[in-house]
Amino acid sequence: MATMVGVTANPGTGNENAPQPACLVGVTGSIGLSGNVNGMVYTAFSYDLAKCVAEKILGGSASDQDISDVVAELTNMITGNLKSQLCDSGFNCSLSIPSVVRGDDIQVSAKTASVSVRNDYTIEDCPGNLVVQAFAAVEH
């Protein structure tokens, strides 16, 4: 966020045992992980947050397509960062392309995931919130 948008993201306390299904609202990016760790990462930007962040990045008004593109790119960066940290910890994995899901009442679950973690973020100078929900199964 500091690099792309020039603002700070403030994390919540996080939940290392997040309930399934997770309920998400707004513009949600998703990326699959495969390798020593298999999983799916969802980044749910509330509509007002997605619009605010996109307009900060683009420096003007943002269309729905612009907003989806920004969410896809931020999802790529967030998940790429997670991938680096996983690799550093010995869990090599590769990423799929980002896709974007829009909807007001999206419930996501992944039964085969032994790991379900979630954290909420607020973004400086923007309304709404960002929910990052990750599901993973670790190969032994």
Residues that bind a second copy (CB under 8 A): 21, 30-35, 38-40, 42, 68-69, 72, 94-113, 135-137
* Residue 10: CB minimum distance to a second copy, A: 27
Nearer to a second copy, 2 or 97 (CB): 97
Select 3 or 112, whichever has its Cβ closest to a second copy.
112
Q: Output 12 or 35, the one with its CB closest to a second copy.
A: 35
In angstroms, what is the minimal distance from the CB of 31 to a second copy?
A: 6
DSSP for 35-72, please give it.
ESEEEEEEEEE-HHHHHHHHHHHHTS---HHHHHHHHH
> Which one, 32 or 128, has the nearer CB to a second copy?
32
State the minimum distance, in angstroms, from the CB of residue 44 to a second copy.
Answer: 11
Count of CB atoms situated within 10 Å of the CB of 93:
19
Query: Residue 13 or 111: which CB sits closer to a second copy?
Result: 111
Collect contacts of 63-67 with beta carbons under 8 A, ≥24 apart.
Answer: 67/27
The distance of closest approach from Cβ of residue 3 to a second copy in the complex, given in angstroms and rounded to an integer, is: 19
Backbone angles phi, psi at 102, to 5 degrees: -110, 140
* Torsions phi, psi for 139 (to 5 deg): -80, 140
Bridge partners (DSSP) listed for residue 45: 27, 130
Alpha carbon distance 102, 129 (integer Å): 15
Minimum CB separation of residue 33 from a second copy in Å reads 6
